[in-house]
């Protein structure tokens, strides 16, 4: 085998290891162990009322897209709990963490209590994006962990594609003006790290 062939294989191996260490990869980029929707009914979009996840807070009201190049992409997603569909680019007025997660992603589960703790301070809003998932599995995880911060539902992974990330979890730090000021691929390692990053990038104290 030639030296160039060995080098190519080594490069691929390094990329694979880095992805696993960072978190769970999106399905089309090489996923880890996961539970995929088996058909269209399994990934049915919740519409509120009896079909929604009642254990979480209603989704925030969104306005018109702010139309800024450094902002959240213009994408409307249905609320996993109660509330109207959310125009992701229309979320302004509050500092916010937008966390891309899935019930099958172990690092996502590990960091959720820290996101809930930050949400409970009232100093920063947290919005989850439940991606490539099934509603029953997502609802079960949220209940088990006592998570109440709102989430939107994105069975086709559209939001992650728009922001060009392949790792779950990924957290976007969004200013009051709707600017994405920082992106963290992979999970927080501790609440202290989350607190420090929020202070650094959003100038908010969630101690």
Going from the first residue of the chain to its last (207 residues), give the mean pLDDT of each consecutive group of 10, the final group possibly shorter: 42 39 49 40 39 82 81 93 92 97 97 98 98 93 96 96 94 96 97 98 97
pTM more than 0.75: yes
Long-range contacts of 43-46 (CB under 8 A, 24+ apart): 43/133, 43/134, 43/135, 43/155, 44/135, 45/78, 45/153, 45/155, 46/78, 46/79, 46/80, 46/81, 46/135, 46/153
Task: Decide if 154 contacts 168 (C-beta within 8 A).
Answer: no
The per-residue pLDDT for 6 is: 39
Separation CA 124–CA 174 (nearest Å) = 10
pLDDT of residue 57: 93
pLDDT at 5: 40
Contact 37, 43 (CB under 8 A): yes
- The pLDDT assigned to 31 comes to 38
Encoding tokens for residue 54?
A: 């009642």
d(CA 50, CA 67): 34
3-state secondary structure of 14: helix
Enclosing H/E stretch for 170:
strand 170-174
State the CATH class of domain 3-202: alpha beta
What is the rounded CA–CA span in Å between residue 129 and residue 136? 15
Alpha-helical regions (H) of 146-190? 158-162
Domain boundaries, the chain: 3-202
Rounded Cα gap, residues 107 and 111, in angstroms: 6
Q: What pLDDT, on a 0 to 100 scale, did the predictor assign at position 23?
A: 62
| CA–CA dist 48, 59 (Å, integer) | 10
CA angle in degrees (0–180, nearest 5) for 81-66-203: 80
């Amino acid at each position: 085998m030639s030296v160039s062939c060995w080098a190519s294989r080594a490069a691929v191996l390094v990329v694979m290891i880095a992805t696993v260490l960072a978190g769970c990869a999106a399905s089309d980029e090489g996923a880890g162990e996961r539970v995929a929707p088996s058909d269209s009914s399994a990934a049915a979009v919740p519409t509120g009322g009896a079909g929604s996840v009642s254990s979480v807070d209603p989704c925030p009201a969104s306005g018109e897209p702010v139309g800024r190049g450094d902002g959240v992409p213009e994408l409307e997603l249905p609320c996993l709990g109660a509330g109207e569909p959310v125009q992701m680019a229309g979320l302004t007025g509050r500092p916010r963490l937008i966390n891309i997660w899935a019930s099958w992603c172990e690092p996502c589960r590990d960091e959720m209590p820290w996101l809930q703790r930050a949400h409970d301070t009232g100093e920063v809003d947290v919005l989850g994006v439940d991606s490539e998932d099934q509603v029953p599995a997502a609802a079960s995880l949220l209940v088990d962990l006592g998570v109440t911060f709102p989430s939107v539902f994105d069975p086709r992974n559209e939001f992650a594609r728009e922001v060009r990330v392949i790792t779950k979890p990924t957290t976007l730090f969004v200013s009051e003006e709707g600017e994405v000021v920082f992106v963290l691929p992979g999970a927080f390692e501790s609440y202290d790290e989350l607190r420090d990053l929020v202070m650094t990038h959003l100038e908010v104290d969630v101690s």
